[in-house]
Structure 1
């Protein structure tokens, strides 16, 4: 068990990254149903990125742009440049480099794709915990964080509890359970890792306008799985104690 919880690893995924790159270039596209398509010789081209506004109409990746227009008449289509008959992804790659440079200030990063990065937070977490010297972590330090499996008791439907209410309640219960004097506590290490990722994501948005989601756990697979639990622009801690419950509910296809 000690070996399984020895590291703190995050997976950061840029939300609809190609769409965000296009929206930064054309601010009028923000908060609108937008897709990014490449090659338009067949049915308007294939869609490779979809904004959350467009997803609400049933538009999805790998759909053809002309078919997507039938689902959403107001759909805005941004097109990938072509060079020598091939898709030119240079502006997305350059934007990705911007993000990676910012993230690398906080911890060791490993690019997983143009819009995903794994981060080994282990050393940064240990250093931060020593600097904290046992101080209590305020709830405000985890303002966009969910803790999977918390709160343990879900409110009833009659209580009209929102997802944000549940998030805050879960964070409160999680923080109440921590032993701040135990510097080797895996739960404390995950929490400090989440604080660092909160700071990292805020820096990315401030300097590039790009928003991202993240998962924080003890290895790459768990970080990847937890990243997708509360998108967009949110992050999720997956503690070891919550892994069995997650796996019992997770379709095998997700693995």
Structure 2
């Protein structure tokens, strides 16, 4: 008895180009062609960059960078406050365009989404043609540009969308995927951060081809559960479906440090930098939660989390900072070397309950990144 071959999916990853900054330059002609940062301010305590225009990126400015650093790199950079209501309205228009072609849409943020166009509504047939039409509609109707990646899996489509920014369109077909992954630098693998990339390079793993020489069991032993993902993805195996709806359980940000943090003062300083970015993500997604969680990963890769819930909602940056100080004061970090910090808000709809939690190695909090 013969079995039909599985349907090969047609996946498009759409990523708007410098979204917030591009909307500001679209709406205010005097900002066009100038180095622009949305979010943060070099005044007072400052903040962090939410989005930088391509003109600003030429100076090395990027998202999550402290505003004071951005100004130091480019003294003439222009800072503007984010207009999240406008960005949300543009995002709704963007999704109206998507829905002309498919209803299987997985949003990752206001400006980024996966589309499964295997059965496209207009019967166009070719995913590249659909991507071209979407890009054209975005340009003509929204006066913005988007980059698109097209492939048979989410992982490869996402990488493809990054290859020719801005206004790019890249197709990586089934016959090219393994060779493409073999030639990809490890730091380009989504999910491989700076510290993991440095660790891989110290082991002689510079590209996918180097990663491919390791057995699955070895990668799991070296990197934990994510090692199984590395083993599969370097072989082009990614069967995750495009999921039209995902309930947001938490919103968080985290950072890994080149040098371990050993004092609470240093940790608090880093948490305050992360707070601004967390608040921006909450605001742009219209979310208010009741529980704040701090995450600590130590030098030996063990992880603990500490949480605090409040009556009402965690609504603003000062409140996040206050709770962060309270949690940090109560956390025993004696003789601990911290290599990663994370901060997140959850419990958006559930009843309030005060809590303190601790997870050992292998049990990190579920963090949803946008």
User: What TM bracket, shorter-length normalisation?
Assistant: 0.5 to 0.7
Q: 1:248 offset after TM fit, Å?
A: 1.3
Where in structure 2 are the equivalents of 1:1-255 lying within 5 Å?
A: 2-3=5-6, 6-38=8-40, 42-80=44-82, 89-108=84-103, 109-124=105-120, 127-129=123-125, 192-253=126-187, 254-255=189-190
Q: Which has the larger radius of gyration?
A: 2
CA-atom RMSD in angstroms: 2.2
Q: Distance in 1 between matches of 2:147 and 2:96?
A: 17
91 and 38 in structure 1: CA distance in 2 versus 1, 3 angstrom threshold: farther
CA distance in 2, matches of 1:2, 1:195: 25
For structure 2, the residue ranges without an aligned partner over 5 or more in a row are: 191-370
SS in 2 for 1:122: coil
Report the TM-score, using the length of structure 1 for normalisation: 0.67
Cα deviation code 1:77-99 (max 9, x no counterpart): 11125xxxxxxx22211211111
- Runs of 4+ in structure 1 deviating by more than 4 angstroms, as ranges, are 39-43
Unaligned runs of 5+ in 1: 82-88, 130-191
Q: How many residues align?
A: 185
Alpha-carbon distance, 1:73 to partner: 2.2
Q: Which has the higher contact order (CA 8 A, sep 6+)?
A: 1
1:39: Cα distance to partner?
6.4
Q: CA deviation at 1:74?
A: 2.0
1-structure distance, mates of 2:122, 2:142: 28
Deviation (angstroms), 1:10: 0.3
Distance 1:53 1:34 in 2: 7
Comparing both structures, which one devotes a greater share of its residues to helix? 1
State the Cα distance separating 1:126 from its structure 2 match. Answer: 9.0
